[in-house]
Amino acid sequence: MKNDIKKVSVSAEQIEEMLIRLGNQITNDYKNQEPLFIGLLKGCNPFMVDLLKHIDLYCTVAYMDVSSYAGTKSTGNVRINHDLDTNVEDKDIIVIDDILDTGRTLNAVVQLLKARGAKSVKLCVLLDKPEGRVAPIEADYVGGLVPNEFVVGYGLDYNEKYRNLPYIGVLKEEVYSK
Ligand code: IMP
Ligand code: MG
């Protein structure tokens, strides 16, 4: 699998530094609150699991599965494949996702959570691709910025593969024509 990677965009060491910084920020910002972390499957893992270890707060977790992508292009359709098992009313929510690109997915999720009565909704993403933005949304907590190219690893997939890569990288062109 690692032979398919052309270039490492974010190393495992850089990811670890991002986790420590984001964990400290969230711990400070939510000092007197008990946030509910909502992870968007499947890309939020392993980011969410590793980030939570750096957060020193009483908190709860829940997951949702939404999708807006087929292959490497955004379809613009957001579908709820698996809904939350918890009530979000009056909760302070931090939504966790792997990457903010067009913003359509996260924008739709934020609207949905607000419509269901969430007290506050903030966004935390490992990566941000600002050039890809279509929807009017920004993340409150960002690990790092990446240029507008397709990346895989550490939760990010290409046709469901490469999520288990311990770093973030760009695939060789030949992988797409396989
Ligand atoms: P958005 O609605 O366009 O912001 O889509 C965000 C979702 O698209 C992410 O949660 C990813 O699943 C997927 N995505 C966006 N960019 C990439 C990428 O470079 N690699 C893998 N998945 C991506
Ligand atoms: Mg995804």
Question: Which protein residues are within 6 Å of ligand 1, measured from CB?
Answer: 43, 68-69, 74, 97-106, 150-152, 156-157
Ligand 1 pocket test target in 101, 151, 158, 171 with most atoms within 8 Å of CB: 101
| Centre of ligand 1 from the C-alpha of residue 31, in Å | 31
Taking only the tens place, the pLDDT of each residue in 67-77 is 765 555 554 55
Beta-bridge mates of residue 82: 65
Encoded amino acid at 57, one letter: L
Task: Give the angle subtended at the CA of 177 by the CAs of 74 and 4, to the nearest 5°.
Answer: 90
Give the ligand 1 atom nearest the CA of 105: 2
| Centre of ligand 2 from the C-alpha of residue 155, in Å | 8
Q: How much is the mean pLDDT over the chain?
A: 93
Give the pLDDT band (50/70/90) at residue 48: very high
Closest listed residue to residue 82, CA positions, set 97, 92, 67, 61: 67
* pLDDT, average across residues 43-70: 92
| Centre of ligand 2 from the C-alpha of residue 45, in Å | 10
Taking only the tens place, the pLDDT of each residue in 8-32 is 999 999 999 999 999 999 999 999 9
- Residues with Cβ within 8 Å of residue 19, at least 6 apart in sequence: 47, 50, 51, 53, 54, 143
Nearest-ligand number for the alpha carbon of 95: 1
Q: Is 101 a catalytic residue?
A: yes
pTM of the model: 0.94
Catalytic residue among 4, 90, 98, 101: 101
